[in-house]
């Protein structure tokens, strides 16, 4: 049996047989062997655009006793900024639910630079003050990104939002 098939077989057995699942330390050792999440950071996972991988690494980060609270928060902030740049609204919303303080002005600017309208609207709705912290930079980047792509819908929304403030 090839090593990949052997590891897959071990994983299936560990997940499907309750007696093996009871041996928690064995499961952790096998899981570390099969999924080396320590080498993956949360911001790096955003680049893969894989919800399954992201959730797995997020769970590993939450359960990591070797990292302090501030290191975990920093990873969430950086992941939120990376997700905002890429227009991954579901990722930003998930991280916001877990750690609302991770939604910063840098994330608002990244959302604006992405030109992704649902992301911009969500940030504007959740924390309107972030767009006002560095208002000119955030709105200018958003406007510039949207206009350069010819995204009329986003430009119109920005104009409407600016007039109603």
pLDDT of 27 over the 80 cut: no
pLDDT at residue 25 greater than cutoff 60:
yes
What is d(CA 92, CA 51) in angstroms, rounded to the nearest whole number?
Answer: 12
CATH class of 39-163: mainly alpha
The domain spans of the chain are 1-34, 39-163
Across the range 41-49, mean pLDDT stands at 90
Answer whether 0.75 is exceeded by the pTM.
no
pLDDT at 103: 87
For range 129-145, the mean pLDDT? 67
Write the pLDDT tens digit of every residue in 67-88.
888 999 999 999 999 999 999 9
Q: pLDDT averaged over the chain?
A: 79
Nearest Cα residue to 121 out of 129, 113, 112: 112
Own/partner contacts of 124-133, CB < 8 Å, gap of 24 or more, are: 124/161, 126/96, 127/103, 130/103, 130/104, 130/105, 133/105, 133/108
């Amino acid at each position: 049996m090839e090593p990949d098939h052997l590891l897959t077989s071990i994983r299936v057995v560990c997940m499907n047989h309750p007696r093996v699942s009871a041996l928690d330390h064995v499961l952790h050792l096998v899981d570390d062997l099969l999924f080396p999440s320590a080498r993956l950071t949360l911001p790096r996972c955003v680049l893969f655009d894989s919800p399954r991988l992201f959730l797995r690494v997020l769970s590993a980060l939450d359960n990591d006793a070797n990292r302090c609270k501030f290191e975990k928060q920093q990873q969430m902030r950086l992941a939120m900024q990376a997700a905002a740049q890429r227009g991954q609204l579901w990722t930003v919303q998930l991280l916001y639910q877990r750690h609302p303080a991770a939604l910063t002005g840098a994330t608002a600017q990244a959302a604006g630079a992405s030109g992704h309208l649902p992301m911009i609207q969500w940030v504007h709705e959740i924390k309107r003050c972030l767009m006002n912290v560095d208002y000119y930079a955030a709105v200018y980047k958003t406007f510039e990104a949207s206009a350069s792509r010819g995204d009329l819908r986003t430009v119109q929304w920005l104009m409407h939002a600016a007039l109603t403030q």
